[in-house]
Amino acid sequence: MSEDITTPSRQDTVTQPAIPRSRTDLLRSGFGRNLGLVVALVLLCLVGIATAGDTFATGANVLTILRLAAVIGVVSVGMTFVITGGGIDLSVGAMVALASVWATTLATQQLAADYHWIFMVSTALAVGAACGLVNGLLVAYGKIVPFVATLAMLASARGLAEIISDRKTQIITVGSFEDFFGGSLIGVPVLVWIFLLVAAAGWVLLNRTTFGRRTFAVGGNAEAARLAGIKVQRHTVALYVLAGLCCGIAAVMLMARTTTGSSTHGQLYELDAIAAVVIGGTLLSGGRGTIVGTVFGVLIFTTLNNVFTLNNLSISAQSVARGAIIVVAVLLQQRLARRTTGT
């Protein structure tokens, strides 16, 4: 509650925001919300420079971090949409696995070898989108809780991947595919470009389009959105398809990185993606989401990983640090949220 409510001052300077810009307003703004993440990332980098300066602060290492971030980053962008829309998708890792396997079957590869690698890419995207469609239909029209519906997809998509691949690693023999996705453009790996493109497209979609606005509405208050005339069910389906599509893209990226498709790809990506989304500032209950925050979340985790590797520290210690970061980030967010909502 601000004072303007209780003192009805009859000013007609309506077009100007009447509330003075205060500290809380600054924290509210997009910049302020991400400030904490920027600080965290900078701190991490400082630690990296201090402990492994000679190798950390090199262009090659930065690219290594970005390449690692790229795959999980694309998955996390899709996850941001689903979570902002009030859902959750536990099946992203399994969808990555299934898409990678389907896109590297002998038949698909033959097609790609005969014509163009685009067949492998479109297969992966189609498989991802189709899985997302199933998720979305189950959630929106089957009225199954997202947690359960996508849990079912998690199990069955990975199972299907194992059946198709016969639990064998499928090696990619299409040279043109490897050449394109393994290459670089202006010194930056193609994979990193894809990540940047997906993140930028995701930002525009979420913040500058009717689709994005409706996503906030559906996630913030589904009933209000429905009564405002938004096609809530159809929109929900679209969100899961989007997440699946992102998984398809991630599968292509992972295929390029490993030159394989495998039912073991993408293990625990759901947890990595949710962690990145949450520390980025997207509300797990829906209605608030930020792509920039998600990208920072992914970068924080991958940089953390890099710093630990450079310092010869074990993955177990890193897991502890990850957990601590998640808790601290969420605690901080809650404090900010409390401050900005006043009473």
Partner 1 sequence: MTDLLNMMGIVKEFPGVRALDGVDLDVRAGEVHCLLGQNGAGKSTLIRVLTGAHQPDAGMIRINDEPVQLNSPTAAIQRGIAAIYQELDLVPDLTVAENIFLGHEPSRYGFSRIHEANTKARAILQGLGHAEIPTHRTVGSLPAAGQQVVSMARALSRDARLIVMDEPSAVLDPEEVSNLFRVIRGLTDRGVAVVYISHRLEEIREIGDRVTVLKDGATVATGLDARQTPTKELIQLMTGRSIEYVFPPRTEVRAAAPVVLEVVDLSRPGEFAGIGFEVRAGEILGLAGLVGSGRSEVLETVYGARRAATGFVRVDGAVLRPGRVQDAVKAGVGLAPEERKSQALLLDEAVFKNITVSTLGRFASTGFLNNRAEREAASKLAVALDVRPAGVDQPVRNLSGGNQQKVVLARWLLRDCRVLLLDEPTRGVDVGARSEIYALIRELASNGVAIVLVSSEVPEVLGLSDRVVVLREGRAVHTGPAQEIDEHQVLDLVMEGSI
Partner 2 sequence: MSRSSARTLVIAGLSVVALAACTSNTPKAEEDSGNKPAEQAAVKNDEPGKKVKIGFSAPAADHGWMGAITKATQAEAKKYSDVELVVAEGTNDVNLQISQVETFINQKVDAIVLLPFDGAALTPVATKAMEAGITVVNVDREFDSPFAARTTILGDNHGMGVSAGTYVCQQLKDKKDAVVAEIAGIDSLPLTQDRSKGFKEALADCGLKVSNRVAAEFTVESGEKAAANLLQAAPKIDAIWNHDDDQGVGVMAAIKNSGRKEFFVVGGAGSANVMRDIKSGSSLLKATVIYPSTQGADGVRLARLLVQKKALGDLVEVEVPRTVQLYAPVVTKDNVDQYLPTAFES
Q: How far is the CB of 197 from partner 1 (least distance, A)?
A: 17
Token pair, residue 118, equals 């685009």
Q: Is residue 16 near partner 1 by the rule CB under 8 A?
A: yes
Contacts (CB under 8 A) with partner 1, residues 248-307: 287-288
**Residue matched to tokens 């990850």:** 322
List 184's β-bridge partners, or say none: 189
Tell me which residue of 168, 171, 104, 159 sits closest to 131, measured CA to CA: 159
Q: How far is the CB of 226 from partner 1 (least distance, A)?
A: 6
CA distances from 80 to 83, 203, 287, 297, 335 (A): 5, 10, 11, 11, 22
Instruction: Look up residue 240 and give its amino acid.
Output: Y
Q: Is residue 106 near partner 2 by the rule CB under 8 A?
A: no
231: exposed, middle or buried (Cβ count in 10 Å: 0-12, 13-18, 19+): middle
Q: What are phi and psi of 57, to 5 degrees?
A: -85, 45
Q: Is residue 200 near partner 1 by the rule CB under 8 A?
A: no
Residue closer to partner 2 (CB basis): 262 or 290: 262
CB atoms within 10 A of CB 162: 17
Q: How far is the CB of 229 from partner 1 (least distance, A)?
A: 3
DSSP 94: H
Token pair, residue 36, equals 């904490």
In the list 116, 152, 159, 178, the residue contacting partner 2 (rule: CB under 8 A) is 178
Report the alpha-carbon distance of residue 226 to residue 253 in Å, rounded. 37
In the list 312, 338, 341, 343, the residue contacting partner 2 (rule: CB under 8 A) is 312
DSSP H or E segment with residue 324:
helix 315-341
Q: Is residue 230 near partner 1 by the rule CB under 8 A?
A: yes
Q: Is residue 332 near partner 1 by the rule CB under 8 A?
A: no
Q: Is residue 52 near partner 2 by the rule CB under 8 A?
A: yes
Q: Is residue 154 near partner 1 by the rule CB under 8 A?
A: no
Q: Is residue 193 near partner 1 by the rule CB under 8 A?
A: no
- Residue 239 binding result from partner 1, partner 2, none, given CB thresholds of 5 to 8 Å by partner type: none
Q: Is residue 180 near partner 2 by the rule CB under 8 A?
A: no
- Residue 24 binding result from partner 2, partner 1, none, given CB thresholds of 5 to 8 Å by partner type: partner 1
Q: Is residue 314 near partner 2 by the rule CB under 8 A?
A: yes
Token pair, residue 173, equals 């023999």
Q: What are phi and psi of 335, to 5 degrees?
A: -65, -45
Q: Is residue 321 near partner 2 by the rule CB under 8 A?
A: no
Residue closer to partner 1 (CB basis): 1 or 185: 1
**Residue matched to tokens 């690693």:** 169
CB atoms within 10 A of CB 138: 20
- Quick note: the x/- pattern for partner 2 over 214-253, rule CB under 8 A, is ----------------------------------------
Q: Is residue 2 near partner 1 by the rule CB under 8 A?
A: yes
Q: Is residue 217 near partner 1 by the rule CB under 8 A?
A: yes
Token pair, residue 111, equals 């097609």
Q: How many C-alpha atoms does 54 have within 13 Å on its Cβ side?
A: 1
194, 70 in Cβ contact below 8 A? Answer: yes
Residues forming contacts to partner 2 in the complex (CB under 8 A) are 51-52, 55, 58, 60-61, 64-65, 67-68, 71-72, 162, 165-169, 171, 178, 182, 254, 257-260, 262-265, 267-268, 302, 305-306, 309-312, 314-316
Residues forming contacts to partner 1 in the complex (CB under 8 A) are 1-8, 11-19, 22-24, 204, 208-214, 216-217, 220-221, 223-231, 287-288, 339, 341-343
